[in-house]
């Protein structure tokens, strides 16, 4: 599907058909398209926990403001940002070397630059911004393959972190419910969008 048509079709769906299941193969196909999202230094500081089982979705709903779509969706993707990805991306830099984008002797310098840019007080902001870029790609990739989505930031960060049990370097940034819209559920009219003049400042 062309990008414009895809973007115009994308809606945040609140009511999912709980009878629809999604498979690991479905999720992998979505990811293979979504992973082309850009990221700073190409570090890709995201980790996704796909919550599929009924019991696990119930637990997640309890720390996500009891939103019904958490349990109605086929899966809820918990998108984490890795605040230490700059320390774990030698494969990215080695790929640059292999492809002739950087000389091997420059690899330590590049890794040090990534740490200066994305470490310390900048780490959470860096991870959050890049996960946001990935999330939009993920939702468009899902729609392109026939799946509806809804992004959510209404959740208890510490509650989700504790429930998922990942290393503390991973911070939950967003939940994305994925499934098929319930057939009897009507979408509300699309909300207004501000004009170019309201948003842009030309200098």
Q: Residue 125 belongs to what H/E stretch?
A: helix 123-144
In a domain, 110, yes or no: no
Domain count, the chain: 1
Q: How confident is the model at residue 1 (pLDDT cuts 50, 70, 90)?
A: low
- Tell me the residue range of the domain where 167 lies: 3-78+130-199
SS3 state at 47 = strand
In a domain, 145, yes or no: yes
In a domain, 155, yes or no: yes
The structure tokens 């002739």 sit at 100
Q: What is the mean pLDDT of the chain?
A: 95
DSSP E strand stretches across 16-162: 46-51, 75-82, 148-152
Contacts of range 138-143, beta carbons closer than 8 Å, 24 or more positions apart: 138/30, 138/31, 138/34, 138/37, 138/77, 138/79, 138/176, 139/10, 139/176, 140/3, 140/6, 140/7, 140/10, 140/34, 141/30, 141/31, 141/33, 141/34, 142/30, 142/34, 142/178, 143/6, 143/9, 143/10
In a domain, 114, yes or no: no
- Higher-confidence position of 3 and 170: 170
In a domain, 107, yes or no: no
CATH code assigned at 58: 3.40.109.10
In a domain, 115, yes or no: no
List the 46-51 sheet strands across, edge first.
46-51, 75-82, 170-179, 148-152
CB atoms within 10 A of CB 124: 13
Share of the chain above pLDDT 90, in %: 88
In a domain, 60, yes or no: yes
In a domain, 71, yes or no: yes
Tokens of 48: 């996704």
Over the stretch 133-161, which tens digit does the pLDDT of each residue have?
Answer: 999 999 999 999 999 999 999 999 999 99
CA distance 107 to 142: 35
Bridge partners, residue 81, by sequence: 46, 171
Share of the chain above pLDDT 70, in %: 100
């Amino acid at each position: 599907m062309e990008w414009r048509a895809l973007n115009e079709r994308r809606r945040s769906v609140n009511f999912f058909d709980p009878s629809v299941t999604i498979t690991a193969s479905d999720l992998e196909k979505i990811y293979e398209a979504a992973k082309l999202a850009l990221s700073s230094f190409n570090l890709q500081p995201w980790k996704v926990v796909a919550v599929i089982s009924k019991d696990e979705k119930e637990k997640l709903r309890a720390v996500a403001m009891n939103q019904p779509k958490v349990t109605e969706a086929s899966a809820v993707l918990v998108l984490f940002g890795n605040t230490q990805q700059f320390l774990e991306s030698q494969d990215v830099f080695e790929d640059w070397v292999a492809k002739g984008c950087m000389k091997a002797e420059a690899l330590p310098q590049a890794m040090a630059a990534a740490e200066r840019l994305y470490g310390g007080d900048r780490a959470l902001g860096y991870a959050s911004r890049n996960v946001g870029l990935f999330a939009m790609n993920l939702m468009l990739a899902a729609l392109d393959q026939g799946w509806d989505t809804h992004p959510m930031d209404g959740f208890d960060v510490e509650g989700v972190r504790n429930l998922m049990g990942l290393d503390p370097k991973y911070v939950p940034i967003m939940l994305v419910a994925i499934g098929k819209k319930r057939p009897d559920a009507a979408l509300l009219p699309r909300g207004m969008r501000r004009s170019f003049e309201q948003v842009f400042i030309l200098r």
